[in-house]
Amino acid sequence: MNVDVMTRPAVLILLGPPGAGKGTQARMLQEKFGLVQLSTGDLLRAAVAAGTAAGQQAKAVMEAGGLVSDDIVIAIIKDRLADEDCRNGVILDGFPRTTVQAQALDALLASTGQRINAAISLQVDDTAMVDRISGRSTCAGCGEGYHDTFKPPHDDGSCRKCGSPELTRRADDKAETVAGRLDAYHAQTAPLITYYDAAGVLQSVDAMAEIDQVAGDMATVVKSVMS
């Protein structure tokens, strides 16, 4: 872990459509910089699995590829940001996804004296996203992400990181749901690129390159904003 560039808790936001590689890159940055990856998608899936009230409300919307209500998502992230492990800094993966969420995050950070170091836009070609998403799987043991073509697991299908034989595919990664998720991104999340540009914190990375190349570019950006 390289913590030499960290002098105060960092807040990084990853922006990009589903399939852009936000989760993969967030996990790599987490390991490299000792930041905590906060994925609202993961938090919501955990709430659904646990059968909480929020999870019960979110389930159908998530399965349909829509966005869960701002109130639910903001409450979930607010709770999680208050946890002790977030004190070293966080990478927000999949949050905010609407202007209302971005404004709520601004207010939350202002109340704790924090600021956004960077909102990093992962720039991708939309037409490639369906292929990227439909080949995805996740290790049930350690959460490592895989892709049938771009980042395959071991030949026997087990996880390269922890050896677990169980890799799962997300229910909402079906081709028929992906188009709706991309639409939701363009209608509700893409305007945040302008929002963070206006705030002076927007950074962009070409996310069509090889995973390691993207990771290197991301690390360069992160080092430059964590002072």
**Stretch near ligand AMP under the rule CB under 6 A, chosen from 5-13, 24-32, 37-45, 199-207:** 37-45
Which residue in the set 5, 34, 57, 61 belongs to the binding site for ligand AMP (CB under 6 A)?
61
DSSP of 172-205: GGSHHHHHHHHHHIIIIITHHHHHHHHTT-EEEE
- Scanning residues 94 to 123, which ones bind ligand AMP (CB under 6 A)? 94-97, 101
Is residue 97 annotated as a catalytic residue, yes or no?
Answer: yes
Our finding on whether 41 is near ligand AMP (CB under 6 A) is: yes
Encode 44-81: b = buried (16+ Cβ within 10 Å), e = exposed. Answer: bbebbeeeeebbebbbeebeebbbbebebbbebbeebb
Give whichever of 8 and 174 is closer to ligand AMP, judged by the CB atom. 174
Give whichever of 104 and 159 is closer to ligand AMP, judged by the CB atom. 104
Per the listing, tokens 């771009």 go with 150
- Scanning residues 168 to 187, which ones bind ligand AMP (CB under 6 A)? 172, 181
CB atoms within 10 A of CB 154: 11
- Scanning residues 62 to 91, which ones bind ligand AMP (CB under 6 A)? 62, 65-68, 73
Q: What is the CA radius of gyration of the chain?
A: 17
Our finding on whether 59 is near ligand AMP (CB under 6 A) is: no
Catalytic residue among 27, 45, 59, 97, which?
Answer: 97
Cα separation, 3 vs 53, in Å, equals: 38
What is the separation, in whole angstroms, between the first and last Cα of the chain?
17
Is residue 8 annotated as a catalytic residue, yes or no?
Answer: no
10 in helix, strand or coil? strand
- Write out the catalytic residue numbers: 22, 97, 136, 170, 181
Which residues of the chain form contacts with ligand AMP (CB under 6 A)?
18, 39-41, 44, 61-62, 65-68, 73, 94-97, 101, 172, 181
